[in-house]
Amino acid sequence: MICFNHQKKQDSSICIVCGKGICKECIIDSGYALVCSEKCLKRHNMFRSLEDNANLTYETQKRNTLIIPAVLIFPGVVFLYFSKDYDYYLFIVGLVFLLLGISLYIKNLKWAKHIK
């Protein structure tokens, strides 16, 4: 392949965004990859920020896998504990919290398997 901008020069790399062959003179180093032009650099940076955001979302969701069920399970256990004196209302509320928390946890675990 030859350089997209310099028809006589042999390319030494390929733009990661558009796939054009580029010679040493034309290469722009984004810090992560080599691109051919300012336009491709902009696109590359946009992709990178999208990727960063997606990773951040995944990390947050992974953490929430435990936190949100725990927020339900903890009061559930507390309610069940205080309902031992035959307080049926507390017992039912505690049971609902506990079951919701556990089912949410199982659901989240299944879901979290899809993301690494």
Instruction: List residues binding Zn ion (CB under 5 A).
Output: 3, 5-6, 15, 17-18, 23, 25-26, 36, 40
Give the closest residue to 115 by CA, choosing from 33, 59, 31, 48.
59
Least Å distance between CB 48 and Zn ion? 15
Least Å distance between CB 11 and Zn ion? 7
Least Å distance between CB 1 and Zn ion? 11
The residue (of 5 and 64) whose beta carbon lies closer to Zn ion is: 5
Place of tokens 């580029």: 22
The residue (of 36 and 72) whose beta carbon lies closer to Zn ion is: 36
**Per-residue tokens: 105:** 């946890």
Give the closest residue to 83 by CA, choosing from 70, 71, 72, 96.
96
